[in-house]
Amino acid sequence: MDTQKDGKTPNLSVEEQHDVEKNQPPRAAVLHEIIRTQGDQELERSVAALWWSALAAGLTMGLSLMAMGLLNSRLPDGEHFKVIASFGYCAGFLAVILARQQLFTENTLTAVLPVMTKPTLNNFGRLLRLWSVVLVGNLCGTLLVAYVMLHLPIFDTKTDLAFLDIGRKVMENDASKMFAKGIVSGWMIATMVWMIPSMESAKMWIIILITYLMALGDFTHIVVGSAEVSYLVFAGELPWKDFWLVFAGPTLAGNIIGGSFIFALLSHAQIRSESGPPKQSADRGKPDPQQVKK
């Protein structure tokens, strides 16, 4: 009985071996380089370009609060209906990511990889510049959209009450819970960003899966949460001090740690630990069958 010394399936043609190679998922190093390149491009953008994109993203993220409020106000009361209403959380993320707007928690991975690859003072400076501009732009957008949603006669009373309930739910967490849940949220967003290049055709479903799980777990996110909690502030139910000290500060720290210091650092360490050149494809270096016939 014939055995294959290399463990490969016998009787594969050159074309079939090529199909096998072509259908392999990209190596982690390839994903790392794709995201690193994207991050380097973001770091090169001007302050004005970053600001307007980040502001637009903050406004767009108001769709998550709007969708959850509308679903909650129109569905019957009950925990099982909250599972359906949580799908509204995905709306803002879908719009922002598919529109290629600047979202702070995406940049905790993409913009960090170039710095980890080349940790120079110039790169650290570029990272801090991007983070500062994008974070301020995102927060200005979410605060503005929360103010407009509260003060303009857009929604009915039941929907307005649903918006308040969403903010109250977030503020049931103390600062330590905001921080811990923010770590998980930052890690999940970084996971989403890492997955998308390998399955670009399924981008929409990846975004929905990750953000829906974030909503179900009540994990805190600095951008979406700022719309939810500032709605309470503008309604007079929460002082600004609690917004910054109980919600924003701990959540921001958690998102950065989860996205940058855990996911990005471990992913970068994985790539650095890989040694040796990539394996050659099965038909690399072999003569083209068509050329042989000629």
**Domain segments of the chain as ranges:** 26-274
Q: Which two tokens stand for residue 123?
A: 């790169």
Average pLDDT, the chain: 88
Read off the pLDDT of residues 56-67 as tens digits, 9 standing for 90 and up. Answer: 999 999 999 999
- For 94, half-sphere exposure in the C-beta direction (CA atoms, 13 angstrom radius) is 15
Q: Under a CB-based contact definition with an 8 Å cutoff, are residues 86 and 214 in contact? A: no
Read off the pLDDT of residues 32-81 as tens digits, 9 standing for 90 and up. Answer: 888 999 999 999 999 999 999 999 999 999 999 999 999 999 999 888 89
pLDDT bracket for residue 5 (50, 70, 90)? low
CA distance 204 to 215: 16
Whether residue 206 has pLDDT greater than 90: yes
pLDDT of residue 284: 45
Q: Which two tokens stand for residue 289?
A: 């069958």
Q: Sign of dihedral through CA atoms 163, 166, 168, 171?
A: negative
Read off the pLDDT of residues 144-202 as tens digits, 9 standing for 90 and up. Answer: 999 999 999 999 999 999 999 999 999 999 999 999 999 999 999 999 999 999 888 99
Residues 6+ apart with CB under 8 A from 256: 108, 186
Q: Under a CB-based contact definition with an 8 Å cutoff, are residues 36 and 114 in contact? A: yes
pLDDT bracket for residue 292 (50, 70, 90)? very low
Q: Is 11 left (phi over 0), alpha (psi -120 to 50) or beta?
A: left
Residues 6+ apart with CB under 8 A from 170: 218, 220, 225, 228, 229, 247
Does residue 249 sit in helix, strand or coil?
A: helix
Q: Which amino acid is at 9?
A: T
Whether residue 250 has pLDDT greater than 70: yes
Share of the chain above pLDDT 90, in %: 70
Residue scoring higher pLDDT (266 or 143) = 143
Q: Which two tokens stand for residue 12?
A: 């594969």
Neighbours of 194 (CB within 10 A): 20
Q: Which CATH class is domain 26-274?
A: mainly alpha
Question: CA angle 168-89-150, nearest 5°?
Answer: 50
CA distance 186 to 11: 48
CA distance 173 to 250: 11
Q: Which amino acid is at 77?
A: D
Q: List Cα–Cα distances, 257 to 71, 149, 245, in angstroms.
A: 32, 31, 17
pLDDT bracket for residue 282 (50, 70, 90)? very low
pLDDT bracket for residue 270 (50, 70, 90)? confident
pLDDT of residue 84: 94
pLDDT bracket for residue 12 (50, 70, 90)? low
Average pLDDT over residues 89-105: 96
